[in-house]
Chains A and B, each alone.
Chain A
């Protein structure tokens, strides 16, 4: 049976990589003595798949994994057993069968909460104006290095919305809806970098991925 799980990655583990998180979950499954299925071949690995990587340094309430178990197990038992074996900062929020759900690799959109400090004399009003100007631009070019090559990409079509949801002194909480996944990907740190052109004093205090889902033909599909 294939089980889909929604996973939280908290403050304690926000600097670990996607690979580290996967390994931590595999080991937790072994500690929980849950009968996971393994791949065939010389170097058997547990049959587990994940959603695309979260940037290092960010917490998340919306990581997903599929685990294939040998035989049928009650979902609430899997949830309880696994949660009792996970290290601090990692927990399973929900578990459900993976049958009939969207493939994890198909997700294409994410919502983030980003708390920033505008810094210096910059006010939240100024920040609001900067965001409006950024969003109005047809092209926002950022440089990206992947595999040693520097590339210019236009992130404008990858940003769906940025809103200020709360203000406290020089601090502001932003809600960003951005493209995520294989079709196109932009992360909050990249967006903030673009905002630095308008307000160079911005610093990031906290980043969290709140939601991750697939939008197809204008309809939202959640992994779970």
Chain B
């Protein structure tokens, strides 16, 4: 089948056809016959979501720098096009050369959120690639996966052939070199996978056996062959200034979620919020220099023509030379009308000043994330922000002319009581009061309270904790709904059922692979899209697989329990996480080690952190 021809015929009938056509500026065209390794970078969501993701951009351009490699992109087809594909027998294909996925050497999935797993399985089905690793042969592509969800690879351990743990820029090239050697020999796929398992940062689940206790918990995870490491340590890039960063970014035609030039300013975070996985797994903190960033920004605008640059990191305000950087960038781009945006900015008097300079926030409204409604609970989760801080910042913002405020909270945090929920509502009303104090009335004010439900994540101090039961989630949402009524306040919340499933998969084990298969058979996909999500289908899938989801989501774990994800070593030590859990139970905060002493999280062994070296562990 000539896919290009069929597309001409069917695309006029499909919504947003540009999702499937490619040909964007700076996308890479190569002759696939002339390269040695053909790799598809797969993002299990639609084009406009996947193209907004930084990781895939970095890998795409990095791999294509090599003459012997051709990296292409593929996204999940939206349901209308999926129907057409199934009807016409169009196999899932790459965007650049329209090659069926099954013909690639590698297919690499980016795992950003658990609820995209059903899209991974659906994409494999559409590609005609057998779901389970054991059913694939030498003629099938090798399936890779990476991203934050790879830190607990077990729910996909029978589907994915190898996981890349941590930052992929170096290890992916090592893997390709290994593959080039392998191609010269006539050895089998398993032989390649075994060798790959020897590369630091690569986890090949087929070479590990899981033994369970009688109560269903994991007893041990053991390598099945000599030479396979007991634990796989994550990879990091030590010096970001010397790391590859793409400047000839692809410029999509259609409107995507984040359509701008992305400038990554640093990696890692030391604030130590106890619920936050990113804050633990991306340590240590490493920054790019102002010089380097200015150069990258200049080149990016030159080669993309974007009208906006966005700084990317876990917490923009923590970049040590933020003011200097912002001033340089504003000066540099004023002439050609390129705007600057600072997402994930913690609002305080200093950043408010910056925000005013770039006028960014006026467009989007102010965002605050106190996460919990009382000081006690904020101390439990180690969110180092006080009510007074928040109200002062809000007042400053109101004085400067802003009138839209978004407040983000989590419900179901460990040890949460109705007093804490009450606190959420109280805080919202205090924001309204602050506005009245500044402006004399509440005209024009809009306060939006959003709650998500706490999902305990691997490699956080709360990995031992339970998620509250689903009916309790919904009860607490109803409580807040009642409390948060008023002309200036609106309340919205995440679907509790989705958070429940997220909790199952984020701390799941290998037995969930079968659930994913069942869910595929029932047609689950695009679970993150509320009109596509079917909770009852998922529940049937659990039932048929003989798996109790509550075992994963709603069970608090014993201190000594062995976790399925502990075959991975994220650098941060279990002993540190347990210490933090105990402090949480006493509502004792741990200050940011950037300004305090080192708390001995364990990441020092990986080297490279900008604060770690100057400190002695306690």
Contact = CB atoms under 8 A, between A and B. Distances in A.
A, B co-complexed: yes
Interface of A: 12-13, 15-17, 19-21, 23-24, 26-31, 33, 38, 42-44, 46, 56-57, 85, 87-89, 189, 203
Contacts of A88: 23
A12 B23 contact: yes
Contact of A87 (B23, B338, B363): B23
B307 A26 contact: yes
A46 B251 CA distance: 18
Contacts of B251: 24, 27, 87
A27 B254 contact: no
Given A12-B21, A31-B303, 13 more contacts: A15-B21, A16-B253, A20-B253, A21-B253, A24-B251, A27-B251, A27-B306, A30-B301, A31-B304, A56-B12, A57-B11, A85-B305, A88-B23
B24 interface: yes
19 contacts: A12-B23, A15-B12, A16-B253, A19-B255, A21-B253, A23-B253, A26-B307, A27-B304, A27-B307, A28-B305, A29-B305, A30-B307, A31-B305, A38-B337, A42-B362, A44-B337, A57-B12, A87-B23, A88-B23
B99 interface: no
Contact of B18 (A15, A42, A44): A15
Given A24-B253, A38-B337, A87-B251, A15 B11 contact: yes
A56 B17 contact: yes
A89 B23 contact: yes
B539 to A, nearest CB: 36
B302 interface: yes
Interface string B242-259: 000000000101110000
B336 interface: yes
Contacts of A19: 255
A123 B228 CA distance: 69
A16 B304 contact: no
B168 to A, nearest CB: 28
Contacts of B363: 43
Contacts of A24: 25, 251, 253
A158 B336 CA distance: 43
A27 B304 CA distance: 7
Nearest to A88: B23
A21 to B, nearest CB: 8
Nearest to A58: B12
Given A24-B25, A89-B23, A16 B254 contact: yes
Given A29-B305, A30-B305, A15 B17 contact: yes
A15 B363 CA distance: 31
Given A23-B253, A27-B306, A28-B305, A16 B25 contact: no
Contacts of A43: 363
B17 A57 contact: yes
A87 B26 CA distance: 8
Nearest to B363: A43
A30 B362 CA distance: 25
A221 to B, nearest CB: 31
B591 to A, nearest CB: 40
A81 to B, nearest CB: 12
Contacts of A29: 305
A36 to B, nearest CB: 9
Interface in B343-390: 359, 362-363
A162 B459 CA distance: 69
Given A15-B18, A57-B17, A31 B24 contact: no
Given A13-B253, A27-B251, A30-B301, A20 B307 contact: no
A112 to B, nearest CB: 15
Between A27, A38, A189, the greatest number of chain B beta carbons within 10 A of the residue's beta carbon is seen for A27
Contacts of A89: 23
Nearest to B303: A31
B17 to A, nearest CB: 4
A24 B304 CA distance: 10
Contacts of A26: 305, 307
A26 B303 CA distance: 13
Interface string B292-308: 00000000011111110
Contacts of A20: 18, 253-255
B305 A87 contact: no
Nearest to B26: A87
A87 B18 contact: no
Contacts of B302: 31
Interface string B471-502: 00000000000000000000000000000000
Given A15-B17, A87-B23, A88-B23, A30 B253 contact: no
B250 to A, nearest CB: 10
A24 B27 CA distance: 14
A30 B336 contact: yes
B281 to A, nearest CB: 35
B17 A13 contact: no
Closest 6 pairs (CB-CB, A-B): A27-B305, A87-B25, A30-B305, A31-B305, A15-B17, A20-B253
A58 B363 CA distance: 36
A124 B251 CA distance: 43
Interface string B311-350: 0000000000000000000000000111000000000000
A132 to B, nearest CB: 27
Contacts of A85: 305
Contacts of B337: 38, 44, 46
Nearest to A205: B8
Nearest to A86: B25
Contacts of A27: 25, 251, 304-307
A31 B249 CA distance: 13
A30 B251 CA distance: 13
Interface in B267-314: 301-307
Contacts of B18: 15-17, 20
A27 B253 CA distance: 11
A203 B13 CA distance: 13
A28 B24 CA distance: 12
B439 to A, nearest CB: 21
A88 B251 CA distance: 12
A29 B306 CA distance: 10
Interface in B1-48: 9, 11-12, 17-18, 21, 23-25
Between A13, A21, A30, A89, the greatest number of chain B beta carbons within 10 A of the residue's beta carbon is seen for A30
A216 B336 CA distance: 40
Nearest to B254: A20
A42 B362 CA distance: 10
A13 B305 contact: no
Between B304, B305, B362, the greatest number of chain A beta carbons within 10 A of the residue's beta carbon is seen for B305
A87 B21 contact: no
Contacts of A16: 18, 21, 253-254
Nearest to B17: A15
Contacts of B11: 15, 57
Nearest to A203: B9
B531 to A, nearest CB: 19
